[in-house]
Structure 1
Amino acid sequence: MTDHIVVLGAGYAGLAAAKRAAARLRRTAARVTLVNASSRFVERVRLHQLAAGRRLAELPLAGLLGGSSVELVVARATGIDLAERTVRLDGPPYELRYDVLVYALGSGSGGEAVPGVREHAYPLATADEALRLRARLAETGSVTVVGGGLTGIEAAAELARPGLRVELLTTGVAGPGLSARARGHIRRSLALMGVAVREHAPVAKLGPGTLLLDDGTELPAETVVWAAGFAVPALAADAGLAADGHGRMLVDASLRSLSHPDVFGAGDAAAADRRGRTARMSCQTGLPMGRYAGEAVADLLTGREPRTARFRFVWQNVSLGRRDGVTQFTRADDTPLDAVMTGRASAAFKEAVTRSTVWFLRHPR
């Protein structure tokens, strides 16, 4: 009997999982099928650059899968039948049966709980959203970026240019997971770019050309970029997989579903415990999770106990345009140290890390 591994999602986690499983199982009869809604890999960490007008490298999945035995199916997963071990798709072959499933569908833009976001905001979680924002920027004079995390900070810095007024609104402080030293550099850098920062200003509602803060303040908002968190697909929870309150699939130390042992989770859509805290959504987390998920699947199908996913954090990179940035060095649990690297050195370092990520995806071993 031939084991069939189906991987849902070809982001950082899913692509790494599929290629690693295929490499480990290359001397067996096992098949690995990777399902993704697009035929291209999206460098999500560069979407703010795409929105600002930069042309990104073309990365077809067929090229990234070259040399591996992974079969690519370009279709969107619409449902999972855990009892029958099948995945429903919106295109050919419309249904896939699996022996082991890797759930790595990632995340999209959040903000559904805030009235007006769907109608009036420009999210920045997919390539299509980045291109839609880019088209909008050609006809706007001001941008309000909502969200003080890394995505919001990078978007505000990348979009800043003469003739365009940019403001960053945050619920708390800008860069809440960073050290005071790193946050100070970000504030100074944004100020030099002309970006106004309004901290402790949660948004209650969006309207056409305006937004309302929780304290009742109404602000003009010609173009709103929504970068206040992410949301995961409902597919896992709807199927009956154990999930947390945000819909993220609950997994054990080997990234195996707590409710269904033939399903593994990786990336943003899985809630992995890292030293008592849920690992944050990021490429930095998704890549090693994907690699370990591929290893665990191979272990399971070759009669071994799936290994514990062991990865540690070392830094967080924040770009501030093309010539500045902050590299926040961290403890293994992702809490910040006082050590930071800034300026051109940090920008060059992040670019090197981003380029090496694609190299890693080409060569997962």
Structure 2
Amino acid sequence: MHNTHQIVVIGGGYTGMFSAIRLAHRTRRLNVQTTLVNPSSRFTERLRMHQIAAGQRLADHQIPDLLAGTGVTFVQGAATAIDTDARRVVVDDGAATLDYDTLVYAVGSSTDTGKVPGADIHAFTLNSPQIADRFATRLTEVAKANGAVTVCGGGLTGIEAAAEIAESHPGLNVTLISLDEPATMMGGKARAYLMRAIERLGITLKVGAKVTKVLPDAVELEGGELLHSSACLWTTGVKVSPLAADAGIAVDERGLILVDATLRSTSHPEIHAIGDAAAVRLAWGQIHGTCQSGMPTAQYTADAIARRLRGKSVKPFRFGYFHQPVSLGRRDAVIQFTKADDTPGRWYLTGPAAVAYKETVSGSPLTTYRLSKRMNVTTIVSKGGRASRKPAA
């Protein structure tokens, strides 16, 4: 018999990695063992996936290397089931099982290609470095043949991808298809700058268009219009893993785990949900799945677990947004600074200063992991001010 408290973290993305490393540091003097489970041994920098899609080579960061010296055990495999009664995680359909006393659920979201016919067959996504790399290979072929590329989805991911592609392959016919006006969450001046960059890069913007089908060489729009597309990149729609719902953990209509004010499952308090796996609601609204909000949930949860293991009380999670950083290729960017609820503030940044700012943001998680092995590094820039002190409605 042993009394070691077993913590299992499912998911080695931005939030899962940070929570595991910070947990190891915060519980280093306690009888605790932390285990991280992830399908791949490579750490995926999702903030840079559009760079891979455009054909750029990124550093290969291995999870065991990032965990070296922390004491965290890494298990490579996919968590395929959770037995909440036995408190056990099943890995790779039974190839291994992991018992837990505390579970940190950090299974991220992915782009949903299942709602539009043909998207799952003929479109590429940024769901993994491997898929993005295959798109980059196809992109090179399309550029040589003077073909056309469509990016479906006018959110910030689609904008960044279209800009990166257009800059990396000048002269290529790139069309960004968006149901709504792009970047409406930004202030007027920042958005105007972004729209000028899209025009400067030669990107064709098709707004108010709904894609109804993806074909091998075209996308079909509502009304029957066909747009030639030698390669289609799908960046719209989000889905989450059914793992939590299948385990009987309380989730919302999208499959996100319902959590209390301390990010614990409302149905299973021994389970903590972080990042875009959790339905986190604050007084000013529900946070959306970004690295900006995900890293603070990981930090908070690691600290909360450590405090509870020491018999201490835990204050509710507080967070506020402070920026919307958008790269526009490697040589341009725009940063919209925001209020806590992610609505645009007065200030914004453009040009070389914005490029440097965005690069710092994209590289900050890896820096945070390295520093967190030996000190408590904060990722919470804003706690949301007065609004987040109130309980959620």
TM over 0.5: yes
Cα shift at 1:226: 0.3
Q: In structure 1, what is the Cα distance between the partners aligned to 2:187 and 2:237? A: 20
Runs of 4+ in structure 1 deviating by more than 6 angstroms, as ranges, are none
Aligned residue type for 1:244:
D
**8 Å CA contact 2:162, 2:174 repeated in 1:** yes
**Contact 1:157–1:193 at 8 Å: present in 2 too?**
yes
Q: Note the 1:269-348 alignment, pairs <5 A.
A: 269-348=277-356
- Of the structure 1 ranges 75-84 and 106-115, higher mean CA displacement relative to structure 2 is found in 106-115
**1:21 Cα offset (Å):** 1.4
Partners of 1:144 and 1:12 in 2: CA distance: 28
Residue-by-residue CA offset, 1:257-291 (whole Å, 9 max, x unaligned): 11110000011111111334221111111111111
Asked if the contact 2:55–2:137 (Cα under 8 Å) also holds between the matched residues in 1, the reply is no
2:26 equivalent to 1:18: no
1:65 corresponds to which residue? 67
Q: Does 1:168 align with 2:163?
A: no
Tell me which of 192, 213, 225 is aligned to 1:184: 192
Q: For the Cα contact (< 8 Å) 1:179–1:336, is it kept in 2?
A: yes
Q: Which residue of 2 aligns with 1:110?
A: 112
TM-score of the two chains, using structure 2 as the length reference: 0.90
CA distance in 1, matches of 2:188, 2:237: 22
CA contact (8 A) 1:274 1:333 kept: no
Q: Which runs of 5+ in 1 are unaligned?
A: none
Q: Aligned to 2:171, what secondary structure does the other structure show?
A: coil
Name the residue aligned to 1:236.
Answer: 244
Which one-letter code corresponds to 2:301 in the other structure? A
Question: Could you tell me how far 1:4 is from its partner in structure 2?
Answer: 0.2
- Whether the 8 Å contact between 1:149 and 1:176 is mirrored in structure 2 is no
Q: Is the 8 A contact 1:211 1:221 kept in 2?
A: yes
Q: Quick one: distance in 2 between partners of 1:91 and 1:71?
A: 20
- Determine the C-alpha separation between the residues in 1 that align with 2:290 and 2:191: 19
CA–CA distance in 2 between the matches of 1:96 and 1:305? Answer: 28
Match of 2:149 in 1: 143
Shift of 1:217: 2.4
Shift of residue 125, structure 1, vs aligned partner: 2.1
Structure 1 residues 209-258: Cα deviation after superposition (integer angstroms, max 9, x where no partner)? 12222243222222110001321111011111111111111112211111
- Contact 1:145-1:166 within 8 A present in 2 as well: yes
**Aligned residue pairs, count:** 365
Q: Structure 1 residue 92: deviation in Å?
A: 8.3
Q: In structure 1, give the amino acid aligned to 2:346.
A: D
Asked if 1:266 is matched to 2:274, the reply is yes
Deviation of the 1:301 alpha carbon: 2.1
For the Cα contact (< 8 Å) 1:299–1:305, is it kept in 2? Answer: yes
**Residue in 2 that maps onto 1:156:** 162
Specify which of 219, 223, 233 is matched with residue 225 of structure 1.
233
Q: Which runs of 5+ in 2 are unaligned?
A: 377-393
SS at match of 2:7: strand
Aligned partners of 2:282, 2:42: CA distance in 1, in Å? Answer: 30
Taking structure 1 as the reference length, the TM-score comes to 0.96
Identity %: 44
The whole-number CA distance in structure 2 between the counterparts of 1:291 and 1:245 is 26
Contact kept? 2:79, 2:89, Cα under 8 Å? yes
1:2 aligned partner? 4
Q: 2:56 aligns with which of 40, 54, 57?
A: 54
Contact 2:22 2:302 in 1 (8 A): yes
CA displacement at 1:91 relative to structure 2:
7.6
SS of the residue corresponding to residue 141 of structure 2 reads: coil
1:178 and 1:74 map into 2 onto residues whose CA distance is 40
Tell me if the contact between 2:125 and 2:132 (Cα under 8 Å) persists in the aligned partners.
yes
The code of the aligned residue for 1:22 comes to A
Q: For 1:231, what is the secondary structure of its paired residue?
A: strand
2:124 equivalent among 119, 122, 126 = 122
**1:170 Cα offset (Å):** 0.6
